[in-house]
Amino acid sequence: MTSIRDSQPIPAARRSAAEPTAGRDATDWRGFLRLARLRFLLYNVLPVGLAVAVSVHQGHPLDLTWYAVAQLFAWTVHVMTHYCNEYFDLEADRANVYFTPWTGGSRALVDGSVAPVVSLGTSFVLLGASTLMVAVMPSWQARVLATAAVVLAWFYTAPPLRLNYRGAGEVTVAAILNGLWPVVAAVLQAGAVPVLLLVVLAPTAVLQVARMMVMNLGDRRSDEMVGKRTLPVIVGYRPAVRLIVGAQVLAYALLTALALLGWLPWPVWAAMAATAPLSAWLVRQLRGGAMRDLDPGRMTPVVFWASNHVSLIVAAAMLGVLLDAARRSADAGALAVLGAVLAGYGALFAHRLWLARRLPR
C-alpha cells in the first residue's frame, strides 16, 4: 500500500497543550469547512445504500423519497458530530503533535482559523436539524432508532456522558455507522429490519470497532495527557494491537460462519471475503510497529487503509446483495439506481486515491 496524505501532517510550528487558541473577530470559511471534515461523509453513502439494497433484495419496493431522507439524516448527524467533537476535543487536539490527515481533528480550532464557539453553535444548529428530521419520520420505530443515533452521536464527546472519554467511543461509532444508520434506512424503506441486514452488518461492526482503535492508537499519548480514556489508553499499546489483530480474524470467521449456516448468501460472502487481503496488510503493519512510535509518516497509510477497509467491505456487501438480488429477479429499476450509487462511490474513492498519489511524499 502506498502512503496516503491529504496534506503535510506536521506543520512547521505547533501549539503547546497549554497554549490557548487565538481569538478572531471573523471566521475563516476554509477553516469552517475543514471542521466539517467532509471527506468522511463519503463513507455513510454505503451503510444507507446497503440497507436499501437489502430491502429491495427482500422484495420491498424502492422508495426514493425515504431513501433521500435516510441519506440526508445520516449526513446531517455525521457533520453535527464533527462540529461537536471539534469543540469538546479541543484540549486533546491541542496536545496532539503526532496528528495525521486522518487523526487529531481538523486543526481548524487549534490553529485559530475558527473560534470554538462557532463550532459549538454550528453543532447545535445541526442538532436541531437532525431532530426535525426525526420528527417527520413516519413510524415510531424509525423515530426511536433515529433518536438513539442522534443521542449517541452527540454524547460521543459532549458532557455529561463523553462516551469516547470513558472507553465506549469505539463501540459507539460502530453502533451508529454500522448499526443505527442502516437500520433507520431499512425501517424507512421496509417498515422493519430484515434479518439479512443484521447478518451482513455484524462482521462490519467488528471491523469498525477495530478501525476506531487504530485511529485512537495514533492519538493515545495526547489522549492520555488530557484524561481521554479510549480503549488503547485503557489497555495499553500492545494489548490494543492484539485486540485489533484478533478483530480481523473474528470478523472474517464470523462472516464465513454466517454463510455456512445459510444466513448469508454466498455471493455476498464472496464479495466481502475479497477484502481480506487488506485486513492481512493491516495486521502486518501493526505487528511491524507502524503505530508504535507515533511517526506520522508511518501512521498515515495505516489509519487511511484501516478507515477505508471498513468502507470497502460495506461496499463489497452492497455489491454482493445487488448481485444476489439480480439473480433473484428483483426490480431492475431499483437495482439500477442502487448500482449507480455504488458506482458513484467507487469513482469518488478512485479519485481520492489518484489525488493522494499525486501529493509529494
Per-residue pLDDT tens over the stretch 130-143:
999 999 999 999 99
N-term to C-term CA, the chain: 14
Among 101-105, 146-150, 168-172, 263-267, the minimum mean pLDDT is found in 101-105
- The stretch 238-267 carries a mean pLDDT of 98
Q: Which CATH class is domain 41-358?
A: mainly alpha
Could you tell me which of 110, 295, 109, 279 has the C-alpha nearest to residue 218? 295
What span, in angstroms and rounded, lies between the C-alpha atoms of 70 and 53?
13
Mean predicted lDDT score pLDDT of the chain = 91
Residue 359: per-residue pLDDT: 52
Sequence-distant (≥ 6) Cβ neighbours of residue 208 within 8 angstroms: 173, 174, 177, 178, 310
Per-residue pLDDT tens over the stretch 344-359:
999 999 988 887 676 5
Residue 361: per-residue pLDDT: 47
* Residue in the block written with cell 470497532: 209
246, 209 Cβ separation under 8 angstroms: no
Residue 4: per-residue pLDDT: 42
Q: How confident is the model at residue 207 (pLDDT cuts 50, 70, 90)?
A: very high
Q: Is the pLDDT of residue 203 over 70?
A: yes
- The stretch 154-161 carries a mean pLDDT of 97
Q: Is the pLDDT of residue 11 over 90?
A: no
Per-residue pLDDT tens over the stretch 302-344:
999 999 999 999 999 999 999 999 999 999 999 999 999 999 9
Q: Is the pLDDT of residue 2 over 50?
A: no
Q: How confident is the model at residue 224 (pLDDT cuts 50, 70, 90)?
A: very high
- For 96, phi then psi, to 5°, come to -90, 110
Domain boundaries, the chain: 41-358
- The stretch 3-10 carries a mean pLDDT of 38
Q: Is the pLDDT of residue 9 over 50?
A: no
